[in-house]
């Protein structure tokens, strides 16, 4: 199996190339069950052959919420991620920011990569994200759960922050990119 560190370096090169080019990568389309549910995440499928079913079930819930109420979906998923983060810190599964990539990997959420960190801000990428990997560009971000999880962990470990998703498959990128700004 491919080493996670090597894989993240490959993904980081894709990230750098896309950010540098600043051009629209794919045209927007309508999100449908056919282009959202049936995906294969290469790394996670290697370590867990049932990953496709796991992702499909998760995305069926996300899709239903998006169809029903996009704004309510955002609130619920961000809150769920935030609450999970608080629980993970409380139980000691996350003791430092360095534990976050391991938790994302073990929970099959995605491959988390801390791109940049300072006292006032962080940049975090997720590759093979459960919420959006290979999703078509629909003109909006899709990773509210992951944003809530990142925000909650950072708040518990560092302090109040604003976490926002800047890059996403839903915007036409090939990765998810979050900016965390500490207040």
Higher-confidence position of 127 and 183:
127
Angle subtended at Cα 63 by Cα 58 and Cα 68, rounded to the nearest 5 degrees: 130
The pLDDT score that the predictor gives to residue 22 is: 73
Q: Residue 169 — pLDDT band, cuts 50, 70, 90?
A: very high
What confidence score (pLDDT) does residue 37 get?
94
Q: What is the pLDDT of residues 96-139, one digit of tens each?
A: 999 999 999 999 999 999 999 999 999 999 999 999 999 999 99
Whether 57 has a pLDDT exceeding 80, the answer reads yes
Q: What confidence score (pLDDT) does residue 1 get?
A: 47
Decide: 7 and 111 in contact? Cβ < 8 Å.
Answer: yes
Q: Which CATH architecture has domain 4-9+30-182?
A: 2-Layer Sandwich (3.30)
The domains of the chain are located at: 4-9+30-182
At 1-55, the pLDDT tens digits run: 468 999 999 999 999 999 998 776 788 999 999 999 999 999 999 999 999 999 9
pLDDT at residue 2, as a whole number: 62
């Amino acid at each position: 199996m491919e080493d996670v560190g090597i894989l993240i370096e490959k993904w980081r090169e894709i990230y750098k190339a896309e950010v540098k080019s600043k051009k629209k990568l794919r045209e927007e389309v309508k999100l449908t069950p056919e282009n959202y549910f049936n995906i294969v995440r290469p790394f996670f499928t290697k370590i867990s052959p049932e990953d496709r079913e796991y992702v499909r079930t998760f995305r069926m819930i996300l899709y239903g919420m998006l169809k029903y109420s996009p704004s309510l979906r955002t609130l619920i998923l961000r809150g769920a991620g935030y609450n999970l983060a608080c629980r993970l810190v409380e139980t000691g599964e996350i003791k430092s920011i360095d534990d976050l990539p391991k938790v994302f990997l073990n929970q099959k959420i995605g491959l988390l990569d801390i791109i940049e960190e300072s006292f006032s801000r962080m940049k975090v990428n997720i590759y093979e994200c459960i919420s959006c990997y290979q999703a078509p560009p629909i003109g909006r971000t899709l990773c509210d759960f992951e944003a809530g999880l990142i925000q909650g962990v950072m708040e518990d470990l560092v302090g109040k922050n604003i976490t926002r998703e800047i890059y996403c498959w839903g915007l036409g990128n090939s990765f998810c990119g979050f900016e965390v700004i500490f207040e």
